[in-house]
A and B are shown apart, each in its own frame.
Chain A
Amino acid sequence: MKRSLPLIFAFVVGIIVLISEFIPHRPFNQIVSTLENWFMIISGFAILLGQISLIRMNANKIANRLPDWQYHLAGLVSFALMLIFGLLWGMQETPGLMGDGQGISAYLGSKPFDYLFENAYMPLSATLFSLLAFFIASAAYRAFIIRGFESNLLMITAVIVIIGRTSIGTMLTGWLPESLSFWHIPNLADFIMEFPNSAAQRAILISAGLGIVGSSLRIILGIERSYLGGDK
């Protein structure tokens, strides 16, 4: 019972969604419309759940004094600060429980939530991924060694695209006459992107798409049920 009813739910809901695509008559489109609005609310709770479990996990690490617990404590403190600021005074145009907090905004220049967002969240988030620029540079030097025909093909394309998408490409072959404009590196890079690249990406899309159709079908029919978790 604990397992079969959810499977029936998934089946019914999935089938109604499928039917409503092809049968435009009521009641199907109305049911699906209601379902879509519910979906949004339930997903809201799902995200709530995800964030709460994350914080609970961190709190456990602190409670059990696991290695690096001090850093997790810093994480927890920043979580609490941001949450309280957000709930009390809201963010940007949205008022919070205590209104817009004009007093504190006058002091900070913006709402406290936005202040933290701009001066802590934004630089952290943006910097984390910019680290990869350095790693790509060192990988370029140490790992991108041409070996077989296939990796040659990859590297040659990469070089054309890397040059073609900058001003260097424009300067390098800008002198070519109109009749040879195909060989102008930016044009060549665009050609590669538009045709061979699109073809390969399309093949990937098609085969991955079939995979998604297949796994969705298995979920609706109840063949695939791993999402329900272990047998209990």
Chain B
Amino acid sequence: MKLSPVAERRIIFTVLLFAVALPLVFPIGWTTEISEYTRIAYRLIEETDENKVVIISFDYDPSTMTELQPMAEAMIEHAFKKNQRVIATALWPMGVQMAEQAFDKVCSHYPDKERGVDYTNLGYKVGGMVTIQAMGRSLSDVYPVDNQNTPYEEIPMLQNVRRLRDIAWISSLSSGVPGLKEWMMVARDSYQVPVTGGCTAISAPGFFPYVNEQRQLHGLLGGLKAASEYESLIGRLGSATTKMDAQSIAHLLILIFIAIGNIKAWHGKKGRQQ
């Protein structure tokens, strides 16, 4: 039987669709192991004192929210648990909406957390690396108001926070440029503020050299798997964890495709040689 390439393609598409959908409908509940890089990020937040002010920067848009949104929720929840105060910023305009959605979700479990006292959303600023450098000199110059139009000086949690140096840690959830790399370059390498973060799995390999002895990055969450690891570290069964079964099955399927493709190519080659 010989299939046309187009037909072959459509069969592959359909098989993949079912391989991903079925485990979502019938979860298996497989466990995964926690990698060291996730632990490093976790420890940074775990070991920061109460009442410190931290930044979580939402540098992504909805196209990668499946990977990054669970990280954002888990990190906000972790910071809330440790009574740290969270500033949300965004180097991508869509990040502002992502931040609001994340706060809404986490605050439903922490009803006592108050906007302005425990968290605030300073919103989007253009300019990437240059803007972060400006934040190193003065946060209120860059953010005259938050996204509710409250002047910076009137936000209670920001009373003693004037520049990046006053921030205990920064986490950038990043799906491209500007994002984690810019935060690391300026906030960590220029102003010595600890930077951690999460990125899509695609960019993760490129960030690994920064998790080094000097701790240019304090750990790294790379993709959905790392998000589920973080969720299990803070003891929360979040959205990333429930998706890992589908992820595992799909990986298995891709490997099967590679294997079949190679066997087929090998057969074809042998056929031609004869």
- On whether A and B touch (CB less than 8 Å), the answer reads yes
Query: Which of B30-38, B48-56, B71-79 lies at the binding interface?
Result: B30-38
Query: Which of B105-113, B154-162, B230-238, B246-254 lies at the binding interface?
Result: B246-254
8 Å CB contacts to B: which residues of A23-63?
A: 29, 33, 36-37, 39-40, 43-44, 47
Chain B residues contacting A201 (CB-CB under 8 Å) are 205-206, 208-209
Count of interface residues, chain A, beta-carbon cutoff 8 Å: 55
Chain B residues contacting A141 (CB-CB under 8 Å) are 8, 12, 257-258, 260-261
Asked if A180 lies at the interface with its beta carbon under 8 angstroms from chain B, I say no
CB atoms of B32 and A166 under 8 A apart: yes
CB atoms of A37 and B142 under 8 A apart: yes
Given A159-B255, A162-B255, A198-B208 in contact, is the A138-B141 Cβ separation under 8 Å? no
CB atoms of B62 and A125 under 8 A apart: yes
Chain B residues contacting A171 (CB-CB under 8 Å) are 30
CB atoms of B30 and A167 under 8 A apart: yes
Asked if A134 lies at the interface with its beta carbon under 8 angstroms from chain B, I say yes
- The main secondary structure of chain A at its interface with chain B is helix
A125 to B98, CA, bound (A): 13
Asked if A146 lies at the interface with its beta carbon under 8 angstroms from chain B, I say yes
Given A138-B9, A167-B30 in contact, is the A33-B225 Cβ separation under 8 Å? no
Given A125-B61, A163-B255 in contact, is the A170-B31 Cβ separation under 8 Å? yes
Given A166-B251, A168-B248 in contact, is the A37-B141 Cβ separation under 8 Å? yes
Count of interface residues, chain B, beta-carbon cutoff 8 Å: 66
Chain A residues contacting B96 (CB-CB under 8 Å) are 92
8 Å CB contacts to A: which residues of B193-215?
A: 204-206, 208-209, 211-212
Closest beta carbon of chain B to A172's beta carbon, Å: 11
CB atoms of A168 and B251 under 8 A apart: yes
Closest beta carbon of chain B to A206's beta carbon, Å: 9
Query: Which of A3-11, A69-77, A189-197, A224-232 lies at the binding interface?
Result: A189-197
CB atoms of B134 and A40 under 8 A apart: yes
CB atoms of B62 and A137 under 8 A apart: no
CB atoms of B16 and A133 under 8 A apart: yes
CB atoms of A121 and B147 under 8 A apart: no
A114 to B82, CA, bound (A): 31
Asked if A165 lies at the interface with its beta carbon under 8 angstroms from chain B, I say yes
Closest beta carbon of chain B to A4's beta carbon, Å: 25
Closest beta carbon of chain B to A48's beta carbon, Å: 10
CB atoms of A36 and B61 under 8 A apart: no
Closest beta carbon of chain B to A45's beta carbon, Å: 10
Asked if B242 lies at the interface with its beta carbon under 8 angstroms from chain A, I say no
Asked if B64 lies at the interface with its beta carbon under 8 angstroms from chain A, I say yes
Asked if A205 lies at the interface with its beta carbon under 8 angstroms from chain B, I say yes
CB atoms of B16 and A44 under 8 A apart: no
The contact of A36 among B131, B251, B254, by CB within 8 Å, is B131
**What string of 1s and 0s marks CB contacts (under 8 Å) between B118-154 and chain A?**
0001010111001101100110011000011100000
Q: Which chain B residues have a beta carbon within 8 Å of chain A's beta carbons?
A: 5, 8-9, 12-13, 15-16, 20, 30-33, 35-37, 61-66, 94, 96-97, 100, 121, 123, 125-127, 130-131, 133-134, 137-138, 141-142, 147-149, 204-206, 208-209, 211-212, 223, 225, 244-245, 247-248, 250-255, 257-258, 260-262, 265
**With contacts A37-B134, A138-B257, A141-B261 known, what are 6 further pairs, Cβ within 8 A?**
A33-B138, A122-B65, A140-B261, A141-B12, A162-B254, A167-B32
